[in-house]
Amino acid sequence: MIKYLFSALMVWSSVMSGQEKGVISGAFETNANVFLRDSAINAINTPQYDRQFFGGEAWLNLNYSIKDFTLGVRFDMFNNSNLRNPTDSYSGIGIGRWFVQKKLDKVEISAGYLYDQIGSGVLFRAFENRPLFIDNALYSARIKYNFNDSWNVTGFAGKQKNAFDTYSGNLKGVRLEGFLSLGSEESPVTLAPGIGFVNRTISDENMAGVADALRTYLEEDRFMPNHNVYGGTFYNTAQYKGFSLYTEVTLKSDDIFYNPFAEKREIIGSSIGKLEQKTGSVLYSSLSYTKGKLGINVEAKRTENFNFRIDPNQRLLRGLVNFLLPLNRQNTYRLTARYSPAAQDLSEMAYAADIRYKFSKAFSAAVNVSDIRTIEGGRLFQEIYTELVYKYKRKWQLISGVQLLTYNQEVYEMKSEVPLVKTVVPYVDFLYRFTSSRSLRTEFQYMKTDQDFGSWLFGLVEYSVAPKWNFEVSGMYNVKPKKENPKGEIEKIFYPTLGVVYFSDAQRYSLRYVKQVEGVVCSGGICRLEPAFSGFRFSMNTTF
């Protein structure tokens, strides 16, 4: 089908070439991993370490635009990849995405694998996150009608993408968005309201899986499953002078979801984890204020029973229809980011505040606080993060601070009978510029904790020769270990990284030798447990 679309497009382009030339753009990205078995850090017992020794991925995007017409296609390849499942191997190759878009006066029509969202994505978000093997594009048709420059309505219907196929079951939705300006020209109040509705229909095939599971439950835990669920959301951004207030209220009718923490009473015995059917809700609001040197942002979110999937039989990151905003700070340093919480969809009451103040051109400070609990009050995550930044002309820059953190491994990593992880992490980041093209950056971090793996020390040295080269040497050392290795011994282990990055125009190449401890990998509040890694990693990406 793709080749016929391109053939038709090229013929049309030839006809139109006398009026307007088309534009081709694209991007290429590839990752390649060489796996070196290392039993000391538990980098063993996966297909890659045991027999394959190589795994990689590649994506090639091509877009063609002419007049008001756009066509896109993406080639995907997975070769012994551990992205889909970090402890398994996946291979697949083919067209991962294609789409066609056309503007007709006030109407925009689209078809194919489409990315979109309603509001912040709490009710519906079709998106891609490659490091976590998430590609929830909607294989669908979409129509958008623009009433004027301020108001538009969009409708869509289709099936959710599943690697090179689609999940059974259907999604339909509609979204109305607008913009209003009130008040005087000197002190305007602007509103950007929106409302959306989504319906998901479970396929007969998936409902059969639900019915089979319910037959094993005791009578008091069974329910009559609904094929359809209906969700609605209202959201608005209000702005006045230095204030900005975003509010979103999302509700969902009785829906089937899996509760991993609920007791399942079966005909024979009992266990933890069962299907339930309940209504769901998410309430979210953020208020920000900026004036002069001061910036403040506060957020609050309440989530209850909002696990929303195309198929309730799916687990972990599979079949997600929506996206729940994380309220914790998105940290970048190695040790401050080691314990990151995944947004909880069944019971979460989260608060966050970020305050920044610029004392002068050279000196600024920031404090970020987040507190996440269950609706019942159980502690999940708490973080206090401070940051001081000092810049001396264009010669050097110092960033320093401390992080205090509490993390619930039982909930976030499904580890039973483990205590709350409590850490203290001071950090220093120093950048020195020798010339306009040569610089040296160093990082030093120390994590003090008596839980999980114990205390850590991390250091990094990065030398840059702009605009072509970056050289990196870093190491993570388990200075006060708590866990036993596979041999039953407690030993101090050093995890080194050696890397080089080369830039050439729009191309970027990187090669690293990496030894990495197991941990949680998060991207935008979506997390998964990543096993230990030992080996070489190569990546290349470019745009054209």
Mean pLDDT along residues 427-444: 97
The residues, any chain, with a CB within 8 Å of residue 373's CB and separated by 6 or more, are 348, 349, 350, 379, 380
Q: What pLDDT does residue 16 have?
A: 46
Query: How many residues are recorded in the chain?
Result: 544
Whether the link from the prior residue into 467 is cis, omega within 30° of 0, is yes
- What three-state secondary structure class fits 5? helix
Mean pLDDT along residues 314-326: 93
Q: How many Cβ atoms sit within 10 Å of the Cβ of residue 48? A: 24
- DSSP lists the bridge partners of residue 292 as none
Largest CA distance in the chain: 76
Q: In degrees, to the nearest 5, what angle opens at C-alpha 387 toward C-alphas 382 and 390?
A: 180
For 444, phi then psi, to 5°, come to -140, 130
Stated pTM of the model: 0.90
- The percentage of residues in the chain with a pLDDT greater than 90, rounded to a whole number, is 84
CA separation for the pair 249, 230 (Å, rounded):
14
Amino acid at 251: L
Q: Could you report the per-residue pLDDT of 389-421, keeping only the tens digit for each?
A: 999 998 999 999 999 999 999 999 988 889 999
Mean pLDDT along residues 226-252: 97
Q: Name which residue leads in pLDDT, 194 or 490.
A: 194
CA separation for the pair 452, 38 (Å, rounded):
20
Q: What pLDDT does residue 159 have?
A: 98
- Show the tokens assigned to 461: 């040295």
- The percentage of residues in the chain with a pLDDT greater than 70, rounded to a whole number, is 94
Q: What pLDDT does residue 21 have?
A: 80
Mean pLDDT along residues 418-438: 97
Q: What pLDDT does residue 8 have?
A: 47
Q: How confident is the model at residue 527 (pLDDT cuts 50, 70, 90)?
A: confident
Q: Are the beta carbons of 411 and 421 closer than 8 angstroms?
A: no
CA separation for the pair 3, 98 (Å, rounded):
11
Q: What pLDDT does residue 483 have?
A: 81
Q: Could you report the per-residue pLDDT of 334-388, keeping only the tens digit for each?
A: 999 999 999 999 999 999 999 999 999 999 999 999 999 999 999 999 999 999 9
Q: Which residues of 94-125 are buried (b: 16+ CB within 10 A; e: fewer)?
A: eebbbbbbeeeeeebebbbbbebbbbbbbbbb
Judged by average pLDDT, the poorest of 26-30, 383-387, 529-533 is 529-533
Q: Could you report the per-residue pLDDT of 449-469, keeping only the tens digit for each?
A: 999 999 999 999 999 999 999
pLDDT at 330 over 70: yes
Amino acid at 345: D
- DSSP lists the bridge partners of residue 459 as 444, 475
Q: What pLDDT does residue 191 have?
A: 97
Q: Could you report the per-residue pLDDT of 87-115, keeping only the tens digit for each?
A: 999 999 999 999 999 999 999 999 999 99
Q: Are the beta carbons of 144 and 151 closer than 8 angstroms?
A: no
Q: What is the mean pLDDT of the chain?
A: 93
CA separation for the pair 416, 398 (Å, rounded):
41
Q: What pLDDT does residue 15 have?
A: 44
- What three-state secondary structure class fits 517? coil
Amino acid at 250: T
Q: What pLDDT does residue 542 have?
A: 97
CA separation for the pair 347, 520 (Å, rounded):
20
Q: How confident is the model at residue 11 (pLDDT cuts 50, 70, 90)?
A: very low
What is the helix (H) or strand (E) element at residue 504, kind and residue range? strand 494-504
- What three-state secondary structure class fits 330? coil
Q: What pLDDT does residue 2 have?
A: 52
Helices (H) and strands (E) in the chain, counts: 4, 32
- Show the tokens assigned to 77: 């390849």
Q: Could you report the per-residue pLDDT of 160-174, keeping only the tens digit for each?
A: 999 999 999 999 999
The residues, any chain, with a CB within 8 Å of residue 107's CB and separated by 6 or more, are 143, 144, 145, 146
DSSP letters for 345-395? SSEEEEEEEEEEEE-SSSEEEEEEEEEEE-TT--EEEEEEEEEEEEEETTT
CA separation for the pair 431, 43 (Å, rounded):
34
Write the burial class of residue 307 (CB in 10 Å: 0-12 exposed, 13-18 middle, 19+ buried): buried
Q: What pLDDT does residue 484 have?
A: 74
Q: Which of 195, 196, 193, 284 is nearest to 236 (CA)?
A: 193
Q: Which residue has the tokens 């538990």?
A: 42
Q: What pLDDT does residue 490 have?
A: 84
Mean pLDDT along residues 301-314: 96
pLDDT at 318 over 60: yes
Q: What pLDDT does residue 69 have?
A: 94
For 524, phi then psi, to 5°, come to 65, 35
